[in-house]
Amino acid sequence: MTKAPSRARPKTVADVARAANVSKATAARVLGGYGVVSDTVRASVTAAAKALDYRPNELARSMTTGRSDIIGVVVGDIENPFFSLAVRGISDAAKAAGFNVILANSGEKIEAEKAAVRLLIGKRVDGLIVTPSESRDITHLRDIHRSGRPLALLDRALPELDVDTVTVDDREAAIRATRVLIDAGHRNIAYVTAVEGNGHEYFDLRQIYTSSVRERIDGFLAACRDAGIDRPERHVRLGATSFEETRRLADELLSSSERPTAILASDSVIALEILRAIRQRGMRIPDDISLITFHDADWTGVTTPPITVVDQPVYALGHTVAELLIRRLKGDIKPPERLVLRTAIINRGSVGPPPVMW
C-alpha cells in the first residue's frame, strides 16, 4: 500500500507567478486566457502551472466571467422519491442549458435549510431552487433574492416572496382525492400529513406554515364539509415526519374507537408505513379500509391491490422550475411567474365501500 499523500495547500496564481518568475498579473493573464503576453512567457507560465499541479480556482474564474454555470438546489428530503424525481427534472433542464447542479438537503428543518442556502451562496452558485420548509422564517430566501441572485421555489409557494414558483394544484388535488372516497360511501376519512406540529392534532390552518400542506388540508376539509361530514378536522393528523412517528400515528388511528374507514396520505413514504400498519393488523385493503396517497411512487402499482394515487407531474415540476430559473439567469426581467401544474387521480384497487359495522 502506498502512503496517503500529505495534505498540500492548493496552488495559487501567485505560486505559479513565482515559479515562472513573472508578475502575478502576467501569470493571471496566461492562466485566465485573456490579455496579451509573449509566447515565451506563456510557455514558461504554462510549464510552471503544470509542474505545480495548479488548478484554476473556479471562484476566481466566476468572479471574472460573472458566472459559475452552477445551479444550487435545496430540497426537503432527497430520500423521498418525490424529490429525487424532481431533481432529475431539474438536472435534465440544467444540463440542456449548459448548467451543472449541486444539491443540498434540508431534512425539512429550517436551520438546515438556512445553512444549505448559505453554503451554496458561499459557493457562488448562479441561482437557487429551494423547496422552502416553512413560511415563517424566510429572511435567508429574501437575502438571496435581494442579492440579485435568481431564486425559484419548487412545490411550495411563499405568499410574501414574489419569485418564480412552480407548484401543483394541491387544494384541487385533495378535493378530488377526498371525493373519490366520499363517492365510495366513506364519511369517516383521515388525512395524514408530514408537517411538523405540536403533537399530531390539527387545530387550525393558521398553524400550518407550508403552503402545499395547508392547501391540501384546506381541500380535504372543503370536500368533507361539502358532503356534510361533521367535524372532519378531528381526523387530520400532523407530524408524520419519520417512519417511527408515522407508525405511531397510524397505530393510533387504526386502534381508535372512531377508526376511519378510509385514509388519504400526503406522500408515498407515509402511505407505505400506513400500509404496513394496516397489514400488520390483518386488515385488508379495500375491504376493511380504503387508502389513497399523493405521488405515484414505484411501489404503488405493484402491491395487491395496487394503490389509487394522486399523480403529480413531479418530473415536470422540476424541469419547469429549472427552466424558469435559467430564463432569469439569461437576463429575463419579466415579472415572476407562479405556475400551477395539474394533477390527476389514477384509480387502482385500493378504494372500496366502507365496511359494514355491526
CA distance 210 to 101: 25
Residues 309-328: x where in contact with a copy of itself by CB under 8 A, - otherwise, as a string: -------------------x
Stated as kind and residue range, the H or E segment containing 180 is: helix 170-183
User: 37-56: which residues touch a copy of itself (CB under 8 A)?
Assistant: 53, 55-56
Q: Which is nearer to a copy of itself, 6 or 257 (CB)?
A: 6
Interaction of residue 104 with a copy of itself, rule CB under 8 A: yes
Residues that contact a copy of itself, how many (by CB under 8 A): 68
Stretch that binds a copy of itself, among 31-39, 114-122, 244-252, 287-295 (CB under 8 A): 114-122
Minimum CB–partner distance for residue 79 and a copy of itself (Å): 5
Binding segment for a copy of itself among 121-129, 182-190, 206-214, 287-295 (CB under 8 A)?
121-129
- What is 30-81 written as a DSSP string? HHHT-S---HHHHHHHHHHHHHHT----HHHHHHHHS---EEEEEES-TTSH
CB 101 within 8 A of CB 163: no
Separation of alpha carbons 71 and 31, rounded Å:
25
Draw the binding track, 125-164, toward a copy of itself (x: CB under 8 A; -: no contact). --------------------xxxxxx-----------xx-
Choosing from 20, 70, 217, 223, the residue that interacts with a copy of itself (CB under 8 A) is 70
Burial of 267 (0-12, 13-18, 19+ CB in 10 A): buried
In angstroms, rounded to a whole number, what is the distance separating the alpha carbons of residues 308 and 292? 5
With CB under 8 A as the contact rule, the residue among 13, 28, 71, 81 that binds a copy of itself is 81
Q: Considering beta carbons, is residue 13 or 175 the nearer one to a copy of itself? A: 13
| Whole-angstrom distance, CA of residue 335 vs CA of residue 347 | 38
Rounded to the nearest whole angstrom, what is the least distance from the CB of residue 40 to a copy of itself in the complex? 28
189: exposed, middle or buried (C-beta count within 10 Å: 0-12, 13-18, 19+)?
Answer: buried
Identify whether the C-beta of residue 294 lies closer than 8 Å to the C-beta of residue 266.
yes
Query: Is the CB of 58 or the CB of 252 nearer to a copy of itself?
Result: 58
What nine digits make up the cell of 218? 384546506
Binding positions for a copy of itself, rule: CB under 8 A:
1-10, 12, 53, 55-61, 63, 66, 70, 78-79, 81, 84-85, 87-88, 91, 100-105, 115-116, 119-124, 145-150, 162-163, 272, 275-276, 279, 298-299, 301-304, 328, 331, 333-336
